[in-house]
Structure 1
Amino acid sequence: MSNGDLTGRNVVVTGAAGGIGAAIAARFAAEDRVVSLWDLDPRVHATAAALAAPRDGADSDDIDCSPTASVHSQEVDVSDADSVRRAFDQLTAAHGPADVLVHAAGVMVGGSALELDAADWARCLSVNATGTMLVTQRAAADMAAAGRGSIVVVSSNAAAAPRVGMAAYGAAKAAATAFTRSLALQVAPLGVRVNLVSPGSTDTAMLRDMFGGTPLDDDAETALLDGDPAVYRLGIPLRRIAAPADIAAAVHFLASDGARHITMHDLRVDGGATLDM
C-alpha cells in the first residue's frame, strides 16, 4: 500500500454528489487513493471533476485533492440490485475490489406519522434501508473474500431518538443501523470491520430543505441549537451545527487503521444532541 494509515487505497463513497458524501470523498481524495463517487444524481460527475481540479482560495473546510489521487464518478441507484451489481462489477474490472466503502446515500422523507403516504414510506425504506443492505452486502462479500476491508455506513441519530415529523426517516435509518451491526458481527471473523457514523443536524441541502431550502438564518440556527420542547426535540449542547467536514473526519477515522480494533460501533457526531442514547 502507498499509504499505511488506511486499510486500502480503493475507496467507494455512495451519495457523493453533494453534502456529507462529497465531503467524505474529498477527505479520501486528499490522499494517494482511487476514489469512486457513486450517486443517482448526475451532478456526481461535476462533483468529481471539481474535486480533481486544482483550487485556489478554498474554504477552511475544503481539502485539496492529492495530485496522486484518481477520482472517478458513476451514476448508481443504490436501491436497485442490478445497478449496484453493475457498479461493483465495473469497479472491480477497472480498479479491483473496494478496500474501503463509505455508504452515505440517503433521502429525507418528512411528515406526520398519522398522515404518511405509503409511497413515501416505501421510497424512504427503499433508499435508506434496502440501499444499505444491497451496497454493504456486496462490498462485505468482496472484502471477506480478500480477508480485509473497512465499511462505514452513514446513518443518523434519528435512528435512536424519535422525532416528530420524521417517522419514515427514523424507521429507515434504524433498519439500516440494525442491518449494518448484524453484518459487522458476521464478517468480523473474516477480517472485515463495519462501523456506523450517525450525524445530527448538519449544514447540508437536506437540512436546509427543512427550512425552506435557503441557507440557515439566525432564527433557524437558534431553533436547532435550542431544541423544541413542544415536539420533544433536544437541542445541541455544543451550540453549533455540524459541517459536512466534521462527519467526514469521523468516517475517515473509523475507516483507518487507527480504528483497527473497532467494529460494530455507532459513532454519534451530533454535538451531544442525543445525550446518552
Structure 2
Amino acid sequence: MSRSVLITGGSRGIGLAIARRMAAAGDRVAVTHRTGEPPKGLLSVQCDITDADQVDVAFKQVEAEHGPVEVLIANAGITKDQLLMRMSEDDFTAVVDTNLTGAFRVVKRASRGMLRAKKGRVVFISSAVALRGEIGQANYAASKAGLIGLARSMARELGLRGITFNVVAPGLTETAMSESLTEEQREHLASQIPLGRLARPEEIAAAVAFLASENASYITGAVLPVDGGAGMGH
C-alpha cells in the first residue's frame, strides 16, 4: 500500500538512498532540502529544520500533495568537527539544534497526523559515533546519542497509539562527507571496521526500509547498527 513518506535531508547521501528505495517500493516520497538542487522524481520541499515555522510550512505542502505523513525518516544533520578546547559554543549548539532539536521539531509536527490515524513509523538516523564516541566530534556524538533517548521516550509515550520509533546507527558511509577524506585516512578507518570497508548508502536504506515496514510492526525503541561491526559492544 502506497504511504506518504517524508525524509528530512533527503536530497543527497543516505537520505537520497532511502528516498529512492522507498519510492521504488511504491510509496509517495517527499524530501526536505535546505540548499542545492532538489533530486528529480521526488517531491522536494525547501526547509530549514532549525526553524519551526519552516517545518510547519513544509508539512502542509507534503500533506496537500501526498496526504498526512505516515512514515517519517529524521535524517537531516550537520557536522562542525573540532577538538573540545577549540570548539566554540556556537558550533556545539548549531549541531545539537539541527541534529537533535530539529528531529524533535519534525517528530512533533508529524505526530499530529499519526495520532489521528492511530499508526505511524518514525526512524531516526543516528550514528555509530553516538555509541562509541569520536575525537573532535563531541557535539555530533552528543546530538546523535540524544536521538536514542528521544526515540525510546517517544516509543513509550506513543506506543499505545500504534506509532513505532526506531533508530538506525550507520558507520562511516560512502557519501560526500567521506569523499573529503584522504586515501590514507580512508584506509586507516576501514582497517578498524571488521568488514574492512565503508558502508554503501543503499545498505543503510535497506535497514531503514525494514524498520518502516509492516515486517517491523512489533519493533520499537530499537537501535539497529549498520556499521560493519565497528561499534560492537556499545
TM-score interval w.r.t. the shorter chain? over 0.9
Q: Take 2:173 and 2:198, find their aligned partners in 1: how far apart are those partners?
A: 6
Which structure has the highest helix share of the two? 2
2:135 pairs with 1:167: no
Among 97, 117, 131, the alignment partner of 2:88 is: 117
Residues 180, 195 of structure 1: 8 Å contact kept: yes
Query: Which consecutive aligned stretches of 4+ in structure 1 deviate over 6 angstroms post-superposition?
Result: none
Could you give the per-residue CA deviations for residues 136-173 of structure 1, whole angstroms, max 9, x where no partner exists? 12112321221011011101111111211111110111
Q: Take 2:111 and 2:229, find their aligned partners in 1: how far apart are those partners?
A: 31
- Structure 1 residue runs without a partner (length 5+): 3-8, 53-70, 227-234
Q: Give the equivalent residue in structure 2 for 1:103.
A: 74
Q: Give the equivalent residue in structure 1 for 2:197.
A: 240
Residues 79, 130 of structure 1: 8 Å contact kept: yes
Q: Give the equivalent residue in structure 2 for 1:267.
A: 224
Q: Give the equivalent residue in structure 2 for 1:137.
A: 108
Shift of 1:178: 1.3
Written as runs of structure 1 = structure 2, the 5 A alignment for 1:91-240 is: 91-209=62-180, 211=181, 217=183, 219-226=184-191, 235-240=192-197
Identity %: 38
* Bigger Rg, structure 1 or 2: 1
Could you give the per-residue CA deviations for residues 95-152 of structure 1, whole angstroms, max 9, x where no partner exists? 2101111111000121101111111111101100110100112112321221011011
Among 30, 33, 58, the alignment partner of 1:39 is: 33
Shift of 1:94: 2.6
Shift of 1:221: 2.6
Letter in 1 for 2:14: I
Match of 1:78, SS state, is coil
- Structure 2 residue runs without a partner (length 5+): none
Shift of 1:92: 1.7
2:229 pairs with 1:258: no
Residues 42, 75 of structure 1: 8 Å contact kept: no
Normalised to the residue count of structure 2, the TM-score between the two structures is: 0.96
Letter in 2 for 1:255: A
The root-mean-square deviation of aligned C-alpha atoms, in Å, is 1.3
Q: Take 2:221 and 2:111, find their aligned partners in 1: how far apart are those partners?
A: 13
Q: Take 1:207 and 1:126, find their aligned partners in 2: how far apart are those partners?
A: 23
Match of 2:7, SS state, is strand
Q: Take 2:92 and 2:120, find their aligned partners in 1: how far apart are those partners?
A: 33
